[in-house]
Structure 1
Amino acid sequence: MGEKAVVIAAPGGPEQLKLVDVDVGAPGPGEIRIRHHACGLNYIDVYHRNGAYALPLPARLGMEGAGVVEAVGEGVTHLSVGDRAAYASQPPGAYATARVMPAKCVLKLPDAIDFETGAAMMLKGLTVQYLLRRTLPQGGLQAGDFVLFHAAAGGVGLIACQWARALGLQLIGTAGSDEKCQLALDHGAAHAINYRRDADFAARVREITGGRGVKVVYDSVGADTWEGSLNSLAPFGLLASFGGASGAVPPINIGTLAAKGSVYVTRPTLFTHIATHQATQAMGNELFDMVAGGKVRIRIDKRYALADVAEAHRDLEARRLLGSAVLLP
């Protein structure tokens, strides 16, 4: 059977995404070959496609998937042929029927979790894990604390709403419609702000928190929300900027952090956190427990054939997707 993968020859719009024949080959030391049953779709894939995050060209896309291990390279001990497995990993290349890839970020998928859920949850779920469990304000987070989470009805956001509820946190979610706000509330957000109607979302945050502000803001929107995010923080609060869906954050005058109340800013990425197999496994175990235990349910809004990847990207960029989506090889 001929193998297929999605490749771009140059950065640009969804029309750049081409499904081509590829030779997969055998895994080398530290690698595995995996046959995908489902591939995840994430906003980082758009950044790779449009050149915001430059890749060597021609480039393959896709950062997460789930399937069955077909071959194991020398030195790989945590996976065996026939294992059900899932991953979020560099380098890109998950938009494919099968691939050879580094084994360190590939984890055994528990039997209680199906392939589509596995493909839809790894990058987003591990992102929520490192945010809510590892990217913490001074003194950490305790039950009852307020946090602000932008894009709360997206794939990452809906996982965050549920995980925050499980931790006892008061998550204030923002979204761009009443329907999306209701979805966030249904998934565990304590409050939801429609920022298209309440443009000054920071003022609403102050109302909700009795004037104090939140301990931490988790912001993947970037340029459009940056100022409001800073204005939503309590003294010594933390702004964790983990994406720029609306564009890059402008340069910061560091004196602003003093004026806003000795606040902190960080720009974390998932891939720093999953740099070793040990760290990936520990984070993955916590994610698997949340999902298998029913505390976090992964909403898959849409399924696309791998050949329809351009349509999937158009839907993703137009914010037509609620929750997660997967590509099916």
Structure 2
Amino acid sequence: QAAAMPLTTVTAYESLYDRLLLSEKDKGKTLLIINSAGGVGSVASQLAKNLGLKVIGTASRTETEAFSLQHGADIVLNHTKDLLPQLEAHGYKNGVEYILVNYDPYPYWDTIISAAKAQGKICLIVDSSGLVDIRQLKDKSLTLVSEMMATKIKYETEDKIRYHEIFEDVTRMFEAGILKSTLTKTMSPINAENLKEAHRLLEEKKVIGKIVLSGF
């Protein structure tokens, strides 16, 4: 369970706390998480829920919808269909304050801009497969931020001690039951055959939660 969590948890934590600057002050506001059943999304849902935010996730299958709901989402939309009328049907015609995009933003760009409230914040953790028009951000004075977990290490930033602080905090959360592991599949032993199979499953883009390889 521990092996499943560091990368996704740090990414989710930095996205919410350090990029979107969420805290207890945002209790009652809404966070839309595109792809909420993946590793990062299912941790971010729990973190946001703990801060008192309303969490809207997106998924495409019955099992991923259920997984999202089990990990903090209040509502789960179907991201194979237009998200805007679904948001409107749930009472969010005027949009949401925060959006975390755990998927290629390119096909969702216009939807993201429309779904964000004026002066809202958008965080991307996946590279865009195409060019997007950032001029659309201006009319609503939207903030666009990006999250890359290894930035502090790669660039030797002065605040790299932040990783230690994050791990201390999330360890406390796991031990207190505020966060729960998103491990869904363990494969053993660690060998070429299981490594290939794990990659095959990931390439299908249908994995829920995290896969862990264990033991030699």
1:9-42 CA-partner distances (Å, limit 9, x unpaired): xxxxxxxxxxxxxxxxxxxxxxxxxxxxxxxxxx
> Which of 98, 103, 123 is the aligned partner of 1:221?
103
> Which of 122, 143, 154 is the aligned partner of 1:264?
143
The correspondence of residues 219-258 of structure 1 with structure 2, limited to 5 A, is 219-222=101-104, 223-244=106-127, 248-258=128-138
> Which of 151, 158, 172 is the aligned partner of 2:35?
151
1:205 to partner: Cα distance? 2.3
Greater displacement, 274-283 / 166-175: 274-283
Check if 1:313 corresponds to 2:196.
Answer: no
Specify whether residues 163 and 138 from structure 1 end up closer, same or farther in structure 2 by C-alpha distance, changes over 3 A only. closer
Residues matched between the structures, number: 207
> Which of 76, 86, 89 is the aligned partner of 1:204?
86
Question: Percent same amino acid at aligned positions?
Answer: 25
> Which of 275, 279, 284 is the aligned partner of 2:162?
279
1:155-198 CA-partner distances (Å, limit 9, x unpaired): 112112222211111110001212211221122111100222xx
Query: Letter of the aligned partner of 2:142 in structure 1?
Result: V
Which structure shows the bigger proportion of residues in strand conformation? 1
Specify whether residues 280 and 214 from structure 1 end up closer, same or farther in structure 2 by C-alpha distance, changes over 3 A only. same
Structure 1: gaps of 5 or more residues: 1-116
Structure 2: gaps of 5 or more residues: none
Query: Letter of the aligned partner of 2:130 in structure 1?
Result: P
Bigger-Rg structure (1/2): 1
Query: Letter of the aligned partner of 1:281 in structure 2?
Result: H
CA distance in 2, matches of 1:137, 1:125: 16
1:232-289 CA-partner distances (Å, limit 9, x unpaired): 1000111111114xxx243233321124x12121222112245555211011111111
- 1:33 equivalent in structure 2: none
CA distance in 2, matches of 1:311, 1:224: 29
1:134 to partner: Cα distance? 1.2
- SS state at 1:269 partner: coil
1:285-312 CA-partner distances (Å, limit 9, x unpaired): 1111111111111031111232211110
- SS state at 2:3 partner: helix
Paired residues of 1:178 and 1:194 also in contact (CA < 8 A): no
The correspondence of residues 15-54 of structure 1 with structure 2, limited to 5 A, is none
Check if 1:135 corresponds to 2:19.
Answer: yes
CA distance in 1, matches of 2:150, 2:161: 13
Return the structure number with greater relative CO, CA threshold 8 A, min gap 6.
2
CA distance in 2, matches of 1:326, 1:287: 19
Greater displacement, 129-138 / 144-153: 129-138
Query: Letter of the aligned partner of 1:229 in structure 2?
Result: I
- 2:9 equivalent in structure 1: 125
- 1:291 equivalent in structure 2: 174
Specify whether residues 140 and 234 from structure 1 end up closer, same or farther in structure 2 by C-alpha distance, changes over 3 A only. farther
Which structure shows the bigger proportion of residues in helix conformation? 2
Query: Letter of the aligned partner of 1:126 in structure 2?
Result: V
CA distance in 2, matches of 1:209, 1:135: 26
TM-score by length of 2: 0.87
Paired residues of 2:37 and 2:65 also in contact (CA < 8 A): yes
CA RMSD of aligned residues (A): 2.2
Paired residues of 1:202 and 1:229 also in contact (CA < 8 A): no
